[in-house]
Amino acid sequence: MPIQTLKNRTLGKSGLAVTEIGIGLWAIGGDAWGPTDDQDSLSTIDIALEAGITFFDTADVYGAGHSEELLGQAMKGRRDKFIVATKIGWRNFDNERNQTAYNTVEKLIAGVESNLRRLQTDYVDIIQSHIDFRDPTMEIFLEGFQRLQQDGKVLSYGVSTSDFEYLKAFNADGNCATLQTDYSILNRTAEAEIFPYCMENDIGVIVRGPLAMGILTGKFALDTQFREGDFRQRWQDNPEEHKTYLEDLAKVEKLRLLAHDRTLAQLALQFVMANPAVTVAIPGAKTTKQLKDNVGAALLPALTQEEMTQINAITPLGGGRKVWPA
C-alpha cells in the first residue's frame, strides 16, 4: 500500500499533531468483536503506519490487555512513529457498587505502569479515564494522572465519556487535554453541548464509534447473524436495542443513496471529520480492505453543503442513540 498524505490536526492542549484518521484497537483484543488473528492484527498496524496513520487508541480492558500487548510488539524499535492513547478504569470494575479496582491514587499509578509494561514503553502520549463516576473516583484519577504527567510517564491526560456534566467536572481545573466520545451520523448528541465546550476549552476530541460499531459500513441486514463472542449480539437479543438497530438500518438505506463515488463508510467518516470540533476519528479495522477504506475517506473531496443538508434530513442535528462505553 503506497504511503498516503493525511492531514494533521492539533489534539487540543496536548499540542500533539495527529492524523485526522487514526485507528481504534478494541477489536484486536479478540474478546468482543468475534475471532481475530494476532498476525493479521500486527499486519494491520504495519499497514496503518504505511498509510500515514500516527494515532493509535487502545485500553487496558481490550482483550484483558492483549490489544496493548500487540501494539507494544508492533512498536518495537520504532516507538517514535506512534502517538499512543490508552485508557484505564474498567478492569475489575464492580458494576453493582459502581466501584473500580483503582480506588486509591497508588493503585491508579500502579495500573498505568501496567499499561506501560504491556505497551513496552516508558510513556504514553495520552492516558484516559475509561469510567465516568464522580467522587472519589474522579479525584483519584486526576491526581494519579497529574503525578504520572509530572514523572514523564504520560504526556497528557483526558477522559472517555458521553456525559457532558462529567466532562465539565473532569476539566474543572482546565487541564483536561482530550475527550474521547461517541459521535456519528447516527449519534449526534455531542453537537449540542459537548463539542462547543471542547472548542471553547481547547480540548481535543477523539471520536469513537464513527461507523456506529459497523452499522454505517452498510454490511448488516435484518438477517445478519453475529458470531459467538461478538458483543453486538445484544442488538438482536435485547428488545430495546433491537428496536434501535432496526431504526438505524432504515436510516442506513437512505444514507446509502448519498454515497455516490464513495463507500458508505467513507461518507460516515467524512461527516465526522467535517465537524470543526473533531480532531481525530478512530474507526476500528481488522482487515487491510477496511483500513484502506478508512484512510481513503480523508483523501476524498469534502462533503458539499447540499450533501450535509441531505444528511440532516435523514438524521436530526443533535439527535442520538444509546451508546456504550468503549
Is-contact 265 217, C-beta < 8 A? yes
Distance (Å) of CA 251 to CA 151, 187, 208:
48, 12, 20
| Longest alpha-carbon distance in the chain | 54
> Which contacts qualify for 92-96: CB closer than 8 Å, 24 or more apart?
93/131
Residues 6+ apart with CB under 8 A from 204: 10, 11, 12, 13, 14, 16, 18, 158, 177, 178, 179, 198, 279, 280
Residues 6+ apart with CB under 8 A from 142: 170, 173
Residue whose grid cell is 438524521: 315
SS (H, E, C) 51-62: CCCCEEECCCCH
- How many CB atoms are located within 10 Å of the residue 92 CB? 12
Nearest alpha carbon to residue 279 among 165, 193, 199: 199
* Given the residues 62, 157, 183, 245, the one annotated as active site: 62
What residue type is assigned to position 49 of the chain? Answer: L
Is-contact 130 87, C-beta < 8 A? yes
Tell me if residue 62 is catalytic: yes
**Which residue(s) pair with 159 in the sheet?**
129, 179
Catalytic machinery residues: 62
